[in-house]
């Protein structure tokens, strides 16, 4: 039973009976009672005064009397001016808790064959460098979003577009050719993505040295950039790649292969995956053909230097380059091709791009261009725009090698979890070293993920590793510890032979217990709202609030030592379902919860 719906229907009946008037259900203002007043739900009666022709207090009193006489759900009521506060009967909360307990996946809707198909793109790495802190936020947001949208009854395809071609890839390749001396991941002992990232940094170092040398000879910065032989070699390599030069392509395949092995290892550790991976080396030609087709139709135009452009000035934007003068593609061209292939491969109802807010303009243009090209789904693309991650030290720059590497960060988080657990001491002494290591892994990565996801995705965020691992406050470990506490209580109850099935109503239920059941009952609507708003943070902060509420209950009430057997059974059942919902909510965020901490 949905409490709000039931109350709303009863209120509509009350208006009909008392005032002989029909009243639209959507106009009824029902809200949760404020903490300073007694009650669970509050009805705002001011909209009914034109029907009752009575003072607010009288109207509220009449409606309250009708509800308590006709709806057993409501135990009592009180009136504060124009507000009717209703107290829900304790037996109802117990019935509700039993229903939640019986639900296999409380709050989760299953997709069926008629469910919409939502494709979500996230990660989108370049094959010239390893994944870094910014990629971690992207991957965690994308994976959590996919889980949340699936939990709302949609079919979901998780996809990745790998940027495996372009001038930046050629920079790493050229640097390896010039200064690599045949180095491989096997010979160096480095992950392949790290090895290639080192050569991307090396290119930038040599390029800057060349520019400085040219500027010392009297050139301006712009003149030096135009005269750079190193950049000219990189551009030449890109032209050769697009022309299918065998030597360049072989080197490209070898080096990308090293990178993919490194990426896969990072993805596995981070706990994210994909249903379909696209590669820009496969999609750029489709985009190029589409742009040339648009050129023929007069949608785009060619400049004197042979480059191809879109004029979007009539749409309030500027002109956008689509093909360079040498015929090579740009990101926009590739994204046009990728979108086409995806809609050709899948019957997509909605396409969501998880990409940082620095690309807001790019996706505004992409949507407009696809629409101009005649693709009906162009305007319906969703850009899930999120803010950047910064560290206390400031922004990261991959060219300069000052990024926070994803692998290093995960290792640091696990090490910090291990140190924190050792400081707390004693609780895991009876476990094997492997079991302790696994718990530390779960805590460390849980801290990282939760800290990233609890912040509104649209905001920039400051990531502080030490703050994220704290076992108190709004952190992953605090929620994980609460879950482990619920499991410990369940284990002890089972060891004592306390078997819980359907629990009957105890003589009295505290406001704190009612509050927790209300929160458990809210979980389906929280999941629904998170899906509507594309907001993993909504799930994260709900879970923290639930954990905090339960911990206050745990400290204020006896559970296993409670002498009244019916009360004990009720509190164990409550505990079990708090754990159940925490585990489900955290799994939507891609966060594991340990059985012990």
Give mean pLDDT, residues 221-243. 95
Provide the residue count of the chain: 597
At 502, is the pLDDT very low, low, confident or very high (cuts 50, 70, 90)?
low
450, 475 contact by CB (below 8 A): yes
Can you name the residues that pair with 309 across neighbouring β-strands? 301, 321
CB neighbours of residue 7 within 10 Å: 21
3-state secondary structure of 312: coil
**How do residues 135-147 score in pLDDT, each as one tens digit?**
999 999 999 999 9
Local structure of residue 300 (DSSP, 8 states): S
Domain architecture of the chain: domains with CATH = 3-88 (3.30.1360.70), 122-390 (3.40.50.620), 448-588 (1.10.730.10)
Sign, Cα dihedral of 561, 565, 571, 576: positive
pLDDT at 393 over 70: no
Estimate to the nearest angstrom the gap between the alpha carbon of 593 and the chain centroid.
Answer: 17
pLDDT at 5 over 80: yes
362/142 Cα distance (integer angstroms):
19
DSSP 3-state of 44: strand
Is residue 321 within 8 A of residue 309, CB to CB? The reply is: yes
Q: What is the pLDDT of residue 225?
A: 95
Residues 150, 110: contact at Cβ < 8 Å?
no
Q: Is the pLDDT of residue 172 over 60?
A: yes
Compute and round to an integer the Cα radius of gyration of the chain.
30
Largest CA distance in the chain: 95
pTM of the predicted structure, to 2 decimals: 0.90
* Angle (nearest 5°) at CA 172 between 167 and 175: 115
Which tens digits make up the pLDDT trace of 240-282? 998 999 999 999 999 999 999 999 999 999 999 999 999 999 9
- Helices (H), ranges, 462-564: 465-468, 476-495, 511-533, 536-556
SS3 track for 76-119: EEEEECCEEEEEECHHHHHHHHHHHHHCCCCCCECCCCCCCEEE
Separation CA 156–CA 179 (nearest Å):
44
């Amino acid at each position: 039973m949905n409490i709000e719906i039931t109350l709303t229907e009863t209120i509509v009946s009350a208006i009909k009976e008392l005032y002989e008037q029909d009243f639209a259900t959507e106009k009824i203002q029902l809200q949760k009672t404020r903490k300073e007043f007694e009650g669970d739900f509050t009805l705002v009666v001011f909209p009914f005064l034109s029907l009752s022709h009575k003072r607010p207090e009288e109207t509220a009193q009449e409606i309250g009397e009708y509800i308590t006489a006709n709806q057993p759900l409501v135990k009592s009521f009180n009136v504060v001016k124009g507000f009717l506060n209703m107290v829900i009967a304790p037996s109802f909360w117990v019935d509700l808790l039993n229903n939640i307990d019986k639900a296999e996946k409380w709050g989760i809707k299953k997709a069926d064959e008629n469910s919409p198909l939502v494709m979500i793109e996230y990660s989108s790495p370049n094959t010239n460098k390893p994944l870094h802190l910014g990629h971690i936020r992207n991957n965690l947001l994308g994976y959590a979003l996919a889980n949340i949208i699936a939990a709302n009854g949609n079919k979901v395809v998780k996809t990745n577009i790998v940027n495996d071609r372009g001038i930046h890839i050629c920079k790493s390749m050229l640097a390896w050719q010039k200064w690599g001396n045949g180095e491989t991941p096997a010979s160096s002992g480095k992950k392949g993505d790290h090895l290639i990232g080192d050569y991307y940094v090396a290119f930038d170092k040599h390029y800057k040295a060349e520019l400085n040398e040219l500027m010392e000879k009297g050139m301006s910065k712009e003149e030096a950039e135009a005269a750079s032989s190193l950049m000219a070699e990189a551009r030449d390599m890109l032209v050769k790649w697009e022309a299918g030069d065998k030597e360049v392509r072989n080197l490209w395949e070898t080096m990308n292969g090293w990178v993919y092995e490194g990426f896969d290892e990072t993805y596995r550790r981070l706990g994210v995956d994909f249903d379909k991976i696209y590669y820009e080396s496969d999609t750029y030609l489709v985009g190029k053909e589409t742009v040339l087709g648009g050129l023929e139709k007069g949608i785009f135009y060619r400049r004197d230097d042979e480059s191809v452009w879109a004029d979007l000035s009539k749409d309030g934007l500027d002109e956008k380059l689509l093909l360079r003068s040498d015929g090579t593609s740009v990101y926009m061209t590739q994204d046009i091709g990728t979108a086409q292939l995806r809609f050709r491969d899948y019957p997509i109802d909605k396409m969501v791009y998880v990409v940082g807010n620095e690309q807001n303009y790019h996706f505004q243009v992409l949507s407009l261009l696809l629409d101009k090209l005649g693709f009906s789904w162009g305007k319906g693309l969703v850009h899930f725009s999120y803010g950047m991650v910064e560290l206390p030290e400031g922004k990261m720059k991959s060219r300069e090698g000052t990024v926070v590497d994803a692998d290093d960060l995960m290792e640091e988080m696990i090490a910090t979890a291990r140190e924190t657990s050792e400081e707390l001491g004693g609780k895991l002494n009876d476990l094997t070293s492997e079991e302790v290591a696994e718990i530390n892994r779960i805590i460390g990565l849980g801290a990282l993920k939760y800290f990233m996801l609890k912040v509104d995705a649209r905001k920039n965020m400051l990531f502080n590793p030490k703050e994220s691992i704290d076992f108190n406050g709004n952190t992953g470990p605090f929620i994980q510890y609460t879950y482990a506490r619920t499991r410990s209580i369940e284990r002890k109850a089972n060891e004592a032979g306390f078997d819980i099935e359907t629990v009957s109503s105890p003589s009295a239920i505290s406001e704190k217990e009612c509050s927790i059941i209300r929160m458990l009952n809210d979980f389906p609507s929280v999941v629904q709202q998170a899906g509507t708003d594309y907001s993993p943070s909504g799930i994260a902060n709900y879970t923290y609030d639930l954990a905090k509420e339960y911990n206050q209950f745990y400290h204020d009430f006896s559970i296993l030592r409670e002498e009244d057997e019916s009360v004990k059974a009720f509190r164990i059942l409550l505990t079990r379902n708090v754990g159940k919902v925490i585990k489900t909510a955290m799994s939507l965020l891609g966060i594991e919860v340990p059985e012990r901490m």
